Amino acid sequence: MYRRSVLKGSLVATTVFARTVAQENVAAVEMTDALSRSFSKPIFIATWPFGKAACEKSRSELSNGANLLDSVERGINVVELDESISSVGLGGLPNADGVVQLDASFMDGATQKSGAVAALEGFANPISVARRVMEKTKHAMLAGEDAALFAKREGFESRDLLTPKARQAWQLWRQKQATAEKSHDTIALLGLASDEHLVGGCSTSGLAFKMPGRVGDSPIIGAGLYVDGEVGAAGATGVGENILRYCASFLIVEFMRQGLAPTAACEAAIRRIAAGDRRKPEELSVNFVAINKAGQVGAAGTDAEFRCAIVDANRSIIVRPTRVS
């Protein structure tokens, strides 16, 4: 969590842990039913404290005349371009071969159209490429070299994504062959406009030092992200394999369709995963944010360190979600 990962046997562990302590001490309010119902549209909710800057950017863009699609995309861009965040975009830690491969998905609740990219190399804003897939192609996902070729044809600037800090971490990991645990933080950002338009995006560099070509839940529509304009939206962060095998974000939206509040829907999905895996929730590392069409927000997770950010017209706060154990 928050790259809280214990990168065993390397100096990275010390650096990561020190940064994490500071981040975990960010003041957070507890998620309650009253709080979840207290926000005014437009509303943005995102995973992790670093999602706060993204939500604030989305709010600013919307208030300055941008549409919700642009606002959500540009909010996520803020995190993707922040080199200090080692789990998304430019600062993302590489795979086992030292290559940064990025995943992202984007979905518009008004049309149910979506776009995604997987194992994208050389482009720092995969969320923008994913949106372009949604708007410029008949497809829902592009992957690998062909996703990069598409990004290049669409005019996106390619660059070396392996920052000196990430390269050093990879070299230390390779020397020690350390095990990266719980290094899978993702930004999932959901936006609800005053006219009840819903849009969501999800972006990540995936598990640190992963097997090349590994793809988690983030670019999979219905797993790491799902948006239904008539019901609500949900996004995920955690161990992608545990999330995608249950189509967890889609499941949360379906629970909301059945009448559950967003937090209750997130909790129900976690319990469904735990039952299916025959494991305790705390062994799963799955965490979710959700919002319904009425503007009620929610979040729940299995990780004690999980936090989310919520921003509306009047507030910008970090929230400690319900923990399922």
* pLDDT tens digits, one per residue of 207-261: 999 999 999 999 999 999 999 999 999 999 999 999 999 999 999 999 999 999 9
Residue 19 has pLDDT above 80, yes or no: no
Task: From the candidates 186, 204, 263, 322, give the one annotated as an active-site residue.
Answer: 186
- State pTM to two decimals: 0.90
* DSSP designation for 210: P
CA–CA dist 44, 25 (Å, integer): 22
pLDDT above 90 coverage of the chain, percent: 84
CA–CA dist 117, 25 (Å, integer): 34
Stretch among 171-180, 194-203, 301-310 having the lowest mean pLDDT: 171-180
pLDDT at 237: 97
Pairing of strands 232-238, 225-228: antiparallel
How is 117-163 classified by DSSP, letter by letter? EEEE-S-S-HHHHHHHHHHHSS-S-EEHHHHHHHHHHTTPPP-----
Respond yes or no: is residue 186 known to be catalytic.
yes
How confident is residue 183, by pLDDT bands cut at 50, 70 and 90?
A: low
115-136, pLDDT tens digit by residue?
A: 999 999 999 999 999 999 999 9
Residue 153 has pLDDT above 70, yes or no: yes
pLDDT at 176: 79
pLDDT at 179: 54
CA–CA dist 281, 272 (Å, integer): 10
How confident is residue 15, by pLDDT bands cut at 50, 70 and 90?
A: very low
Task: At 204, give phi and psi (nearest 5°).
Answer: -160, 160
**Structure-token match 């239904």, residue found:** 228
Cα 149-174-302 angle, rounded to 5 deg: 80
Residue 314 has pLDDT above 70, yes or no: yes
Cβ–Cβ under 8 Å, residues 114 and 141: no
pLDDT at 17: 29
Dihedral through CA 86, CA 185, CA 317, CA 20, nearest 10?
-60
pLDDT at 197: 98
* Mean pLDDT of all residues in 301-305: 96
Cβ–Cβ under 8 Å, residues 321 and 301: yes
